[in-house]
Amino acid sequence: MCGIIGYVGERAVIPVLLEGLRRLEYRGYDSAGVAFFDEGKISVIRALGKLFNLQELLAGYGKNPRGIGLGHTRWATHGEPAEHNAHPHGDCRQELVVVHNGIIENYHTLRGMLEQKGHKFRSQTDTEVIPHLIEEELEAGFDLPEAVRRALSKVEGAYAIGVFWAKAPHMLIAARYQSPLVLGIGEGENFMASDIPAILPWTKNVIFLDDGEMAILTKDSCQILSLRDGRKIAKEISRIHWDAAMAEKAGFKHFMLKEIYEQPQAILNTFRGRLDPETGEVNIPEICLSPEEVLSLKKICILACGTSYHAGLVGKYLFERWVRLPVEVELGSEFRYRDLLIDKNTLVIPISQSGETADTLASLRRAREVGAKAVAICNVLGSTITRESDGTIYTHAGPEIGVASTKAFTSQLTALLLLVLYFGQMRKSLSEQERRRIARSLLRVPYQVEKLIEKVHPEIKDLAYDYQRKEHFLYLGRNILFPIALEGALKLKEISYIHAEGYAAGEMKHGPIALIDENMPVMALAPANHHVYEKMISNIEEVRSRRGEILALGTEGDETLARVATRTVSLPECEWEVSPILYTIPLQLLAYEVAVVRGCDVDQPRNLAKSVTVE
């Protein structure tokens, strides 16, 4: 998830690019760069770190060229955060530059093919194959738009790109497939960007590119073509009426809500290129464990804090069922002060959105001291936890601005399930039939989550008004949904400041049942196809008999649940393994909407920070 901006017109280019990148920096802040046409050649200036580092470099440039340019702020996915991995990237002669947001899945194959033809690469990124592919087509005699179109036909994955060429400095090319891209239509100038905020200072007239479309922009024209066959496409111009603050959130009131809605894409990005949709086989060489090391494992120890700890608890159910290894899930803040019963045959899995969580990092270091292998699950390339682990599964969720974790959590659940499938196939503890079933269910999840949000959000918004004045809330789940009850309670208390507790439903009679009365709402997670469904219904009946108000999440068409619960929210039927992802979504929305009604600061709740980097 990176930010890109492009401009063609008569303005001074550098101020336009920097202002656009400033408004896109929430999409990535590992590095930034710009390219522009100056005195007959392309100049590329890049800097590691946040945008102000690039601004300082450009302040000393001493020129203010006009005409055409591209800018990029990076959220690293391939290649560590470094100046040589920053965008824009060029071809062999540096006559053509590209900025890219997305993931090129077949870049290893493409890079090998291009290197055999003599192409020299300067970075570790997947993006760099694109300018070299375009260069190949230009040398074959095609013009720039056709060269871009033909090059992209060889690419597998997701992309939103901007391209310009020194031999056609009046023309900017934009193209999109499964990554957002918007065009800004001005008078005597045109723009392209990953998101609307980047172009709002200059125009509110926009065209939204759809998947499989490309645009040819000059200062006076905008032509849309099909990437598949080059035919012209007519597109309507829309008028944006957002204010600047709303625009940075893409029209959403808060970053948290925006990030809840981004979950289908974040989940897809996490398994994209790693899961074969035909065979269900998983390929994650980045974990850096040999088959022999995987087979020698005797135990798994998951290390995490907060929301990531809840993801780890879900992982315990999955690993023990399908990998047949004992799993311990440890809080980083506790594990580091214990006597450790782990050794070289233990795999440690630290889970952290930022990769800088202090307690998790300290616990990882202790585990490494006694010889344990480590495979991290993390969202930030090059972070400390990833550097100190043997390998890493990156979640590719993109920056998460809201303090309360949403898309990072469901991406972690996705990564854990991928690792379970991979270990299951390596250790032959998971049959081919079961692997295919689980893989098919995971492949459906992005679509199911998208439809689920669309369906339940209005229902949840109505429920929030009824529950806003409650002072206590109890969340109940069983088996693999018990950790989701913990996560739902955590979300409610951290952003709405309502006291909430999550419990394994069978434990309710061992204490919490004493709290149940007409003033204690209970959230029950009860999918009809789970093997503990009947037990869950019994627990709901226990609440009902004590006049408790029951809000239940369950399967569409479940009449039994509708009869015993006070209110129900229906979810699509899903497999056991992916149910934690789907059942998380309504709980995130409920916490969000209750917090909004109560007037809380949703994105920056009191006393909390996004990344806990101190003890």
Residues acting as catalytic residues: 2, 610
Give SS3 for 370: coil
Contact call for residues 31 and 79 (beta carbons, < 8 A): no
User: What is each CA distance from 421 to 87, 437, 529, in whole angstroms?
Assistant: 34, 11, 21
Query: Which positions ≥6 away from 304 have C-beta within 8 Å?
Result: 311, 312, 329, 330, 331, 332, 350, 351, 352, 357, 360
Is the Cβ–Cβ distance between 289 and 317 less than 8 Å?
A: no
Cα 391 to its chain centre, rounded Å, is: 19
What distance in Å separates the CA atoms of residue 382 and residue 355, rounded to the nearest whole number? Answer: 8
The CA distances from residue 277 to 96, 263, 294, 423, 438, in Å, are 35, 20, 23, 17, 11
> HEC string of 134-181?
HHHHHHCCCCHHHHHHHHHCCCCEEEEEEEEECCCCCCEEEEEEECCC
Between CA 562 and CA 556 the distance in angstroms is: 10
**Residue among 107, 223, 89, 79 at smallest CA distance from 162:** 89
- Identity of the amino acid at 92: C
List all residues 6 or more positions away from 433 whose beta carbon is below 8 Å from its beta carbon.
none
Angstrom distance (rounded) from CA 568 to CA 586: 11
Q: How many angstroms separate the CA atoms of 474 and 489, rounded?
A: 7
What single letter denotes the amino acid at residue 255? F
CB 406 within 8 A of CB 445: no
Closest listed residue to residue 272, CA positions, set 126, 475, 54 = 126
Distances (CA, A) of 550 to 174, 471, 519, 581: 51, 15, 11, 22
Q: How far is CA 472 from the centre of its chain?
A: 32
Sign of CA dihedral 290, 294, 296, 302: positive
Q: Are 559 and 463 in contact (CB under 8 A)?
A: no
Decide: 175 and 233 in contact? Cβ < 8 Å. Answer: no
Note whether 530 and 576 are within 8 A (CB). Answer: yes
Which tokens go with 226? 């099909």
Q: What is the full DSSP assignment across 586-603? A: HHHHHHHHHHHHTT--SS
Instruction: Report whether 567 contacts 593 (CB < 8 A).
Output: no
Identity of the amino acid at 413: L
Residue type, 414: T
Tokens of 412: 């972690």
Residues in the chain: 615
